[in-house]
Structure 1
Amino acid sequence: MKPDQIDLLTTTGTPTLHPDGSRLVVAATRPDFRADSYVGQLWEVTLEGARRRLTRGFRDTAPRYSPDGELLLFLRAAPGGKPQLFVVRAAGGEPVQLTDQPLGVSRFDVAPDSRTVVFAARVPEPGRYGTLDGVGAGLEDPRLITQYKYRMNGSGYITDKRSQLFTVEVPDLDAEPWIEAVGRLKQERVDGPGALEEQGAVPRATQVTTADADHLEPAFSADGMRIFFTAALAPDADSTLVSDIHSIALDGGDRRQLTNLSGGSRLGCSAPGPSADGSWLFFLATDLSPSGVDFVARSTALYAAPMDDPQDLRRLSDPGTIDLGDVQDIVRDASDAVLVFNRSRGMGELLRFSATGESETLVTGPTVVTGAASAGGAVVVTYTDPSTTGDVAVVDRAVLRPLTDFSAALRARTRVGDMQERTYTAPDGASVHGWVVLPEGDGPHPVLLVIHGGPFAQYGWGYFDEAQVYAAAGYAVLLCNPRGSAGYGPDHGRSIKEAMGTVDLDDVLAYLDGALAEFEVMDNERLGVMGGSYGGYLTAWTIAHDHRFHGAIVERGYLDPPSFVGSSDIGWFFSEQYTGTDPARVEQQNPFAKIGSVRTPAFVIHSEEDLRCPIEQAQRYYTALKKQGVETELLVFPGETHELSRSGSPWHRRQRFEHILRWWARYLPTDANQPDPATR
């Protein structure tokens, strides 16, 4: 794949299955260069594989059938606009807009009677975020900060736009459409955020929560009388990672906390949902220990409690062997069972659990399941694998029967390099698991060691645009999951706690050495190393200790733990949990403390609005390299966050790839990636 082909990367959202199990609807979304945005519509697909484009909006996502199967609700965003809730008859027709929230709608659920919808939306303080005409962001009142948690990467400030829950009634879709008055009957026009609701063009929503906290993931109870949600409302919520499942009546009253009701370890809870028969409440949670902040490599588990006795809490999955922390969602299955998503050795598996703890694996193997739905005796999934960025399949006796082929154009117009699974041995005998992607030709090919972020994350079997772009440019690409990664159990993940840059460095170098020894087509003299976030950390750490690399790319890096505390949105807890608090030990894990040893040319890439790894990390690293005479460049993307490489603007994603290839053309040229003569 080439950088200008990222518009072929169609991804699929979570599917919704009609209650009778006959058909599904899924959102298919792709980058678009003309719009410099992400565009996509909803597709209806029968379980026999017939499909049709159901909507024609700019970006339509998150479809959900109503329980009676008569309606389809979804989110629609206009160009430059926020996602709003729409409804259309399941048989088709003109969608009707239900909301006009100033900052858009996120998660929603439909009541069992199919007439009421609950949704979450951020509510801006008066005078902020365009709510006061003529007052832009630079003229807003100052913010008085008194909390640790006041910003979030991708969202910016959060305490002045809390996520609250609302309910709205589904109108009669056969009623006369709203028509704006003109002439003699025209009233004073209302413009701006919320104008459509004020004018009566959309139904009036009722806010049902008001506390100074984010209220997330709303879900109706099976009888439709209560709403479940997650929120951090405890007195110490600002200084821990603890969150709870709560429920409220439909009018917002009678709030009940359902989790963390006893002493001992404390949970970070998410994804509440009742069983199909209404007898159980399921949710996901991470055990954060009594401190409430010990998050390092803590696997997410499935919990259940009887609806009539929430304190009878039961953990159904073993966090020592199962980790549900990637796709943090629960899918209601028949009666008292649910479907959940496990990450294991690069796979994204689909598991079924009953409330009694019985489990079975529905999908496993070289696939990453990204979403699922169950209804009418059928189970369907969305997934990615080495040759598709997103498709839909029916689960049939633990085998996937594909229903779509959204990646057909990608395969037709690009070469998809095979992912060759390999395991090599670290110096202490530990196994290092990963993949090799080779370019075309006999070689010898220069080698790129590409390190993932996290660190509690994993490379896997899904289509990876980074590896395909570099392989197409003539590079052998190495992807591995060193100790500290997810997917291999908590001990594997926690092995770098207060020991960053130790066994993780050993592992990535062992994987490099193992691949060089096995593959004769690799050039063991021409090596590069690169990574983002924690991968940026380990890249910077690697080139301070190993000088065989011709070049390096340090992207959105975690580069100086002491300055990360206070500048990052997660800095108040992240560094201390990973590196500890002893200054001498922190220095032993700090790339910035070792920067004097760096001799490798290093390309530093960062985004201006990255709040996860703030840009000061990159600026200081770049300046220090330049002062000591190391060849370096700094590439800064305006308007982008920590998620640039995954969800940044299409043009910025393309330009990022072009600059990366330009850098490697200088230090590791290939036949397919030569330096521009004008820059030599």
Structure 2
Amino acid sequence: MIHQRILLLPVFLFCFTYAVAQEKKPVQLSDLTKIVTVSDPEITPDGQVIFVKSYMEAGKEGEFDYKSQVVRLKLSDPAQLQVLNSPSYDLSGFALSPDGKSLAFTKAWEGKPQIWILPLDGGEAQVLTSEKNGASSPVWSPDGKKILFSFSTPLWAMEEEPAWPNPRPGRSYGDEPNYAAIKEGLAKEETKPNMDGSVAELRAWLAKNASKNNPRVIDRLNFLGERGLSTEISFRHLGMVDVATKKSTPLTSGYQNFGSGSWSPDGTFILASSVKTEEHPDMTFELDSDIYKITLADKSISVFLTLDKHRFSEATFSPDGKLVMVSGQNTEDRSFNQSLIGVVNPDGSGLKWFTEKLDRRVGGAKWSDDSKAIYFAGPNQGGVTLYKSEVGSGKTTEVISGPVGVSGFDIHGDQLVYALTKVADPSELYVSDLSGKGEKMLTQFNTPWLAERWVSEPEAHQFQQDGFTIDYWVMPPFGMESGSEYPTVLEMHGGPTAMWGPGESSMWHEFQVLAGRGYGIVYANPRGSGGYGKDFQRGNYRDWGDGPAKDVLKALDKAVEEYEWIDKDQLVLTGGSYAGYLTAWIVGHDHRFKAALTQRGVYDLTFFMGEGNAWRLVPNYFGYPWEEGVKEILDYNSPQTYVQNIQTPLMIFHGDVDLRTGVRQSELLYKSLKILGKPVEYVRYPDEGHELSRSGNILRRMDRIGRIVEFFERYVEHPN
């Protein structure tokens, strides 16, 4: 009898768990508006945590708005939450004062971003800066009396002559008479705009029109923003503001970009990364960057750290002031080399890298209080891992890893606080010791509504192909019954250097909605993905189509072989951005899918170099079209080349103002298929750019997922 009880108990528990699961609803499309995310945690000296809570709030006429609030909790009593500000949508760049009594952040004021101060002992936030061109990225001085900030100066407002060679013989950049003065409303009398006058007067008239953006005058290589033209070149500089008097002082100027400023322990100088522009600023993407020292007493600027074929992005003193942490990248293979984190002496000597063997793109590095370790995070095999490098030995270990994602963290004393993504909950705040042990959940913003939801758990798999190890995951559908087969979606990520996995948060809702609608899901990280090192990331060099398609299709084949519930005759396919490209590529070569949906993709690579603001992907991966043999490679790798072979019913998504990939790409694909008489439908989202699925209008985000479901439902069959 004893043995029978032991055997029967697991069966009983399984049946009970299954029954409870079946009583829960799957994740709904409307649940997008219930998701709360946490970010930017900072531990205060008195044992509290300040962090940002982001959520969606119902507005007028069924619309929803994005909101953010600064929240404080006690580590000793996390149930006691205190909201510190009124809800807003544009809060960013939080920085806690050294004494833990005030918070600096960036928020718009009279149309410009400015630095605000929020007293944590009570009271409303007050604007601190009133910079003509705005201010952002606050960094407190060690004594808490001053704040370092960044600001931008447009090229036309620069007073000194540019250092780079004249880009056009006989002319200089922006040389239309009175252009800068007209732009500021200070037109000079000596040259009056007159369309019928002299050449000088005609030029002044044309410049006046251009000053009103009618028309837009373009004289730069990178003239596309995310959702509109970006015709002006500007330079990022550093300023300093006195907290008590609100008096600000510019620290840098000229044709040089400065960023990531940090203070010396005694507050007498600033370290900042910088690119000195000695040629046309459009070409600065080819330049390496150095760390500069800015002495506050006389505003003198000198090179602190430079290294040939390297780009430095950050420098921060250790708490004991004995070392400086630096981050950067070897630029000999700029598009594929991974991140570097290391230390130098306070005089810039003795550079020592810690992460060369780690072979990952990492960032957000922070010192431990005892100056003995540096913590940082980065994508890693389907999650976002938190790492620790010991300064003395250089040994790097994983602190928090596995199928989870660390999206922000802070360390103080012996405590580590971090925002974490899990399959069971997309975003909550946790605390542990510095080794990641003793994890304790601090917030439960998503817990109440998730308690009523069934969540599909992905199962991880691997296979070897062409020298690469490919990770893939399979998610079961809701309500699965033994002996039944279910339609399955092959989902693919963009980038191409993005990475998906259980620790990646952006697809949590979409995957769960599809699983809740009765679809199985297969997704993989094909060659070219981030999170697996340089060689893997370079695996799709001059091969955007064949190799990655081979990887994701093999993942699907293996899932079909292993999971009896996958209906091999009821397969559908979708992906966005680079994965929009890959969707179109696959249906031009493979006809197994009942339907496919390509989103905000690129379909003609030569055309892409002239249209999207991400055009550098073309020379980085293939070369320029006019170079020998490159045009043939671009044509071979363009899905548009195979448009006549597409048989699969196809839906195409694109945002009206998506300038990252360019909306003409989707127009070309749609028109071609329409002319060929193929089954195709085209959906254009007004006022939306490339980030629709992540940060676009909330109703349009839900509309997008709803249309994915509806479109696939036209072509697949579910078990009765």
Specify the alignment match of 2:140 in structure 1: 110
Q: How far apart are 1:639 and its partner, in Å?
A: 2.2
Distance 1:495 1:55, change over 3 A: same
- Give me the TM-score of the superposition, normalised by structure 1: 0.85
Identify the residue that residue 598 of structure 2 maps to in structure 1.
554
Give 1:75-224 correspondences, 5 Å limit: 75-76=106-107, 83-101=113-131, 105-123=135-153, 139-140=212-213, 144-153=217-226, 157=230, 159-171=232-244, 203-224=246-267
1:589 and 1:116, CA in 2 relative to 1: closer, same or farther beyond 3 A?
A: same
Partner of 2:376: 340
Change (3 A) 1:219 1:641: farther
Kindly report which structure 2 residues correspond to 1:53-452, keeping only aligned pairs within 5 A, or say none: 53-59=83-89, 60-76=91-107, 83-101=113-131, 105-123=135-153, 139-140=212-213, 144-153=217-226, 157=230, 159-171=232-244, 203-235=246-278, 237-238=283-284, 240=286, 242-250=288-296, 253-259=299-305, 261-263=306-308, 266-289=309-332, 294-308=333-347, 310-318=348-356, 320-325=357-362, 328-336=363-371, 337-356=373-392, 357-396=394-433, 397-399=435-437, 400-426=439-465, 428=466, 430-441=468-479, 442=481, 443-452=484-493
**Residues 344, 371 of structure 1: alpha-carbon distance in 2 compared, 3 angstrom cutoff:** same
Letter in 2 for 1:57: P
State how far apart, in whole Å, the 1-side matches of 2:462 and 2:411 are.
36
C-alpha distance 505-528 of structure 1, shift in aligned 2 (>3 A) = same
Choose from 68, 77, 84 the match for 1:40: 68
Cα distance change, pair 504–311 in 1 and its aligned pair in 2 (3 A): same
8 Å Cα contact 2:265-2:317 kept in structure 1:
yes
Classify the secondary structure of the residue corresponding to 1:594. helix
Listed one character per residue, the Cα deviations across residues 58-100 of structure 1 (whole Å, up to 9, x for unaligned) are 244443221122222233458x966542222232322222134
Q: Which residue of 2 aligns with 1:505?
A: 549
Q: Is the 8 A contact 1:451 1:530 kept in 2?
A: yes
Alignment of 1:606 with 2:654, yes or no, is: yes
* Structure 1 residues 486-565: aligned runs within 5 Å: 486-565=530-609
Q: Retained in 2: the 8 A contact 1:268–1:287?
A: yes
- Counterparts of 2:389 and 2:548, CA distance in 1: 34
Residue equivalent to 1:648: 696
Q: Say which SS state the counterpart of residue 495 (structure 1) adopts.
A: helix
Does structure 2 conserve the Cα–Cα contact (< 8 Å) formed by 1:214 and 1:231? Answer: yes
8 Å CA contact 2:148–2:240 kept in 1: the answer is: yes
Change (3 A) 1:344 1:241: farther
Q: Any conservation in 2 of the 1:108–1:218 contact (CA below 8 Å)?
A: no
- Residue 547 of structure 1, CA deviation: 0.6
In structure 2, what is the Cα distance between the partners aligned to 1:24 and 1:362? 20
TM (norm. structure 2) is: 0.81
CA-based RMSD: 2.9
| Cα distance in 2 for residues equivalent to 1:136 and 1:367 | 54
User: Alignment partner of 2:611: what SS?
Assistant: coil
The answer on 1:659 being equivalent to 2:707 is yes
Task: Indicate the SS of the match to 2:359.
Answer: coil
Structure 1's 129 and 646: CA in aligned 2 closer, same or farther, altered over 3 A? Answer: farther
- Using the alignment, how far apart are the partners of 2:369 and 2:395 within structure 1? 14
CA distance 1:159–1:214, change in 2 (3 Å)? farther
- Is the contact made by 1:245 and 1:272 (CA closer than 8 Å) also made in structure 2? yes
Pick from 34, 40, 45: which aligns with 1:14? Answer: 40
Q: Helix, strand or coil for the counterpart of 1:215?
A: strand
Correspondence for 1:595: 643
**Shift in CA distance, 243/445, structure 1 to aligned 2, threshold 3 Å:** farther
Change in CA separation of 1:81 and 1:477 when aligned onto 2, cut-off 3 Å: farther
Amino acid at match of 2:240: T
- 1:258 Cα offset (Å): 3.6
Once residues 129 and 376 of structure 1 are traced to their aligned partners in structure 2, the CA distance between those partners, rounded to angstroms, is 56
Aligned-residue offset at 1:389: 2.3
Counterpart in the other structure of 1:181: none
Q: Summarize the Cα distance change of 1:650–1:456 in structure 2 as closer, same or farther, 3 Å threshold.
A: same
Can you list the C-alpha shifts for 1:294-336, whole angstroms capped at 9, x where unaligned?
333321121322121x253222112x533134xx322232243
CA deviations over 1:158-203 (Å, ceiling 9, x no partner)? 744443322222138xxxxxxxxxxxxxxxxxxxxxxxxxxxxxx3
Query: Relative to 1, partners in 2 of residues 1:298 and 1:669: Cα closer, same or farther, differing over 3 Å?
Result: farther
Structure 1: give runs of 5+ residues left out of the alignment: 173-202, 673-680
**AA paired with 1:38?**
Y
Partner Cα separation in structure 2 for residue 205 and residue 670 of structure 1: 65
The alpha-carbon distance between structure 1 residues 609 and 138, as it changes in their structure 2 partners (threshold 3 A), is: farther
Whose helix fraction is larger, Structure 1's or Structure 2's?
2
Counterpart AA for 2:138:
F
8 Å contact kept, 1:271–1:330: no
SS of the counterpart of 1:487?
coil
CA distance in 2, matches of 1:354, 1:158: 46
Q: Residues 280 and 412 (structure 1 numbering): CA distance in 2 closer, same or farther, change over 3 Å?
A: same
Q: Per-residue deviation at 1:516?
A: 0.9
Residue 566 of structure 1 corresponds to 610
3-state DSSP of counterpart to 1:667: coil
Separation in 1, partners of 2:637, 2:573? 19
The sequence identity of aligned pairs, in percent, is 27
Aligned partners of 1:340, 1:95: CA distance in 2, in Å? 31
Stretch deviating more after TM superposition (92-101 or 112-121): 92-101
SS of corresponding position for 1:586: helix
SS in 2 for 1:216: strand
Distance 1:456 1:375, change over 3 A: same
Q: Distance in 2 between matches of 1:458 and 1:633?
A: 29
Query: How much has 1:531 moved relative to structure 2?
Result: 0.7
Cα distance in 2 for partners of 1:361, 1:525 equals 42
Deviates more, 1:616-625 or 1:109-118: 616-625
Deviation at 1:45, TM superposition (A): 1.6
Three-state SS of the structure 2 residue aligned to 1:255 is strand
Alpha-carbon distance, 1:379 to partner: 1.8
Q: Identify if the C-alpha distance between structure 1 residues 150 and 247 changes in structure 2 by more than 3 Å, giving closer, same or farther.
A: farther
Segments of structure 2 that go 5 or more residues without pairing to the other structure are: 1-26, 158-179, 187-207, 625-629
1:528 shift after superposition: 0.9
CA contact (8 A) 1:296 1:497 kept: no
Mark the CA change 1:541 to 1:97 in structure 2 (over 3 Å): closer, same or farther: same
Deviations 1:352-375 (A, max 9, x none): 224442333321222111111122
- The 1:239–1:169 alpha-carbon spacing in structure 2 relative to 1, beyond 3 Å, is closer
Letter in structure 2 aligned against 1:93 = G
Distance 1:18 1:137 in 2: 50
Post-superposition offset of 1:249: 2.8
The alpha carbon displacement at 1:538 in A equals 1.1
Distance in 1 between residues matched to 2:313 and 2:93, nearest whole Å: 18
Q: How many Å separate the matches in 1 of 2:310 and 2:677?
A: 49
Tell me by how many angstroms 1:483 deviates: 0.9
Query: Which is greater in Rg?
Result: 2
